[in-house]
Structure 1
C-alpha cells in the first residue's frame, strides 16, 4: 500500500523524506549517464578513437533509453514499485563496474548499454514514485525536489567525476561511481517507503493524449538542442582557451547555475506551467545563441553558458510534472514517454553535435542548439491545452 498523500497545505510533509531519497538516486543516475561528458578527451586518447566517436558513449546509452522506456514501463507496471526501483539502481552499479575495467572501447560501450537499459526503466518508476507520494496539487513541487538530483548531477556529479578522472584516471571515476551507487542502493532499501503500482483505470482522460504528445515533443526538442552542445562542453571550453584543470570547476559553476534556476522556478511549475514551458526553453535558446556569438572568447562563453544552463535547471521538473498533469495515462507511463523523449534528444543531440562539429565547427554547434531549443518554446506557445495557463485539476 502507498502511504497516504499529504494534505494540500502547500508543503510536502512526510513525503519529503522519500522524495529526498529519490533525489539522491536521480543524482547517481544522471551522473552515471553523463560521466563521459567531462572525460571524452581522456577516453578518446586511451582507446585511440576520435572525440566524436567517444561521444557515442553518450548516444549509445541514450538510444537504449529512448527505445526501451515505454516497453519496459508497460511490462513491469504490475510489479511492486520498490523492488523494481532497487533492481534499476543495482543496474547502474553493474554498468559502472564494467566501464571501469573495460579492456577495449567495445566493452566500455557494452557497459554503457547496460546502463542505458537500466535507465530506461529507472526514470519512469522514479517519476511515478514521486507523483504517488503527494497530492496532485503538489506534483510540480514533488518533481522539483526529486529532480534536484538532475541538477545535482550537473553541479557535483559531472565536475567531480571529471576532477577524479583528471587526477586519478577515467577508470577511477567510473569505479567511484560504482561505489556511490552501492551506497544509494543501501539508502533506498532502508529509507524509501513503498508505493502502489499503476492501476488499469488510471488512463482517465484518453482524450488528452494529444496534450501528452505535445509535452513529450517539447521535452524531446529541449533535450535535443541542449545535448547538441552540452555533450561537447568540455571541448568547447578547451577550444575557447580554458586549461584542462579549469574544465571541472567551470562545469561546477554551470551546475550551480542550474540549481539556482530550479530553485527560482520550482514554485511556478504548479502555478504557471504555460509561462514556464515558454520561458525556460526561450532563455536556453538565448544562452545557446550567445554562446555561438561569444566563441572562442572564454569569458563570454562562460557567461553565456551560465544563462543557458541556469534556464536548463528546471527543465526536467517542468516536463515531468506537465506530463503527469495531462492525466492522459498513469504517471509511470507518462514518465516513460518523458524518459524516452529526453534520451532520444540526448542521443540525437550527441550525434548531431558531433557531425556539425566535424563539418562546421563549434560556432555552428551552438547555433543549431539555439534553433532547436527555440522550437520547443514555440510549441509550448501553440499548445495551450497541453500547457494550461493556470495548471489543470487531475
Structure 2
C-alpha cells in the first residue's frame, strides 16, 4: 500500500495520527470514568441526594441500561450525519450530564442525567473503533484501535482511583465538575485534531440485519458474549473469591490485574496487525488456563497473584483484538453499526455474567466461580478456532 490511503475522499497518513487517536482515547477514558465513578462514592452521594446507598447504586446500573438500550437505535438514527459532528454531540452530552450531576440535589434529576450519559455513552462506544479505523491505512488499523481502547484500561487502572481520591479531597461534586470540564476540553481537541468524515448517504445505507449477517460478524459477536460472560462471572465477585482463597487483600489483587491489563494492551498493540488470530487464541487460551488454575490452587498466594496477573495480561488485549476483527469483517464504512451491535452484546455479557456469578456464589459458593467461567471462556476459544475464514483469519484482510 502507498504511504497514504484515501478514505471517502480524505487523505489518511501512513503514520499514526497520535494527537487525534489520543483525543479518541481520552473520550473513552471520560466515558468509563463517567460510568463508574459513582460506584466508589455511594456513601458520599447518598446523604446529599437524600436516598439510600442502594438507590445511588442505580445511578450506575441506570447508565448501563440506557447504554444497552440506546446504542443500536441512536447509531442507526444518526448514521447519515457527519461523523465528527456526532462525536462532538456525544461529548457535549457527557459535559451536560456530568455538570447536572455536579450541581443537582434531586435524585430524579440526577438519575435523568445519568440516563442521558448512558445514551451518549452507547453512541460513543459504537463510534470509536470505526473512527480510529478510518483515520489510518488498513495495515495500521489494529494498532490505532489499540491506542483508542487503551483509554479504557487507563480509566480502570488509574482514572477511577484518582477520581475517587479527588472526590475524597474536594468532594464528589467537584469531581463530576472536573469530568464535565474534561468533556468540554475534548470538544475543542476533537475539532482541532480529529478529521471529519461524512455520514452514510441514504443510497449507501445497509440495513442493520444485513450488517449483522455479514460473514464473520455473528461469530465475532458470539466470542464477545462468551468472553464477557466468563470474565464477569469472576471479576464481579473477585472480593468473595479472594476471601475464599484465604488471601483477603482484594485491593492488591485488583491492582495486579489492572497493571497487567496495561501490559496486555501494549503487547496487543504490537502484535494485532501482524498476528491477530494467533494473539487472540493465545489470550483466550491463557484466560482458560487461569480459570483452570484458580479452581484447585487459589489457596496459594503465589498462584493466586500469578494467575490474576496472567488473567489481566490476556484480558487487557482481548477487546482490541475482537474489535479489530469486527471492523475488518464489517468494513470501516459499516463499523459504527456493527460496533453498536457489539456494544449491546458487551453490556449483555456484563449483566449476564454478573447475574450468573451471583447465582453460583449463593448456590455453590465462591469456589465454584472459576469452574463456571471456564466453559464460557472455552466457548470463546472454540468459536475463534472454528471461525477461521471470515471472522478470525490468520492474516488481517485489507479492504
Give the TM-score range, shorter chain. 0.7 to 0.9
Quick one: structure 1 residues 129 and 118, their matched pair in 2 at CA, closer, same or farther if it must change by over 3 Å?
Answer: same
What's 1:342 paired with? 346
**Is residue 273 from structure 1 mapped to residue 276 from structure 2 by the alignment?**
yes
**Is residue 376 from structure 1 mapped to residue 380 from structure 2 by the alignment?**
yes
Larger radius of gyration: 2
What's 1:306 paired with? 309
Say which of 212, 226, 230 aligns to 2:231: 226
Quick one: structure 1 residues 171 and 282, their matched pair in 2 at CA, closer, same or farther if it must change by over 3 Å?
Answer: farther
- 1:267 is displaced (CA, Å) by 3.1
**Is residue 393 from structure 1 mapped to residue 395 from structure 2 by the alignment?**
no
Rounded to whole Å, the distance in 2 between the matches of 1:171 and 1:358 is 36
Rounded to whole Å, the distance in 2 between the matches of 1:238 and 1:177 is 34
Give matches, 1:76-91, under 5 Å: 76-91=78-93
Scaled by the length of structure 2, the TM-score of the pair is: 0.82
> Deviations for 1:177-233, whole angstroms, at most 9, x for unmatched residues?
333333333322333221223455475997962411111121122223223333444
Partners of 2:256 and 2:305 within 8 A in 1: no
Aligned-residue CA RMSD in angstroms?
3.5
Quick one: structure 1 residues 90 and 370, their matched pair in 2 at CA, closer, same or farther if it must change by over 3 Å?
Answer: farther
Q: Which runs of 5+ in 2 are unaligned?
A: 1-7
Give matches, 1:40-189, under 5 Å: 47-49=51-53, 57-100=59-102, 109-165=111-167, 173-189=175-191
- 1:264 is displaced (CA, Å) by 1.1
Rounded to whole Å, the distance in 2 between the matches of 1:60 and 1:183 is 26
Quick one: structure 1 residues 98 and 306, their matched pair in 2 at CA, closer, same or farther if it must change by over 3 Å?
Answer: farther
Say which of 3, 24, 31 aligns to 2:10: 3
SS in 1 for 2:214: helix
**Is residue 352 from structure 1 mapped to residue 356 from structure 2 by the alignment?**
yes
Scaled by the length of structure 1, the TM-score of the pair is: 0.82
Rounded to whole Å, the distance in 1 between the matches of 2:193 and 2:88 is 12
- 1:77 is displaced (CA, Å) by 0.8
Larger relative contact order, structure 1 or 2 (CA cutoff 8 Å, min sep 6) = 1
- 1:130 is displaced (CA, Å) by 0.8
What's 1:212 paired with? 217
Partners of 1:226 and 1:369 within 8 A in 2: yes
Partners of 1:289 and 1:366 within 8 A in 2: yes
- 1:57 is displaced (CA, Å) by 4.8
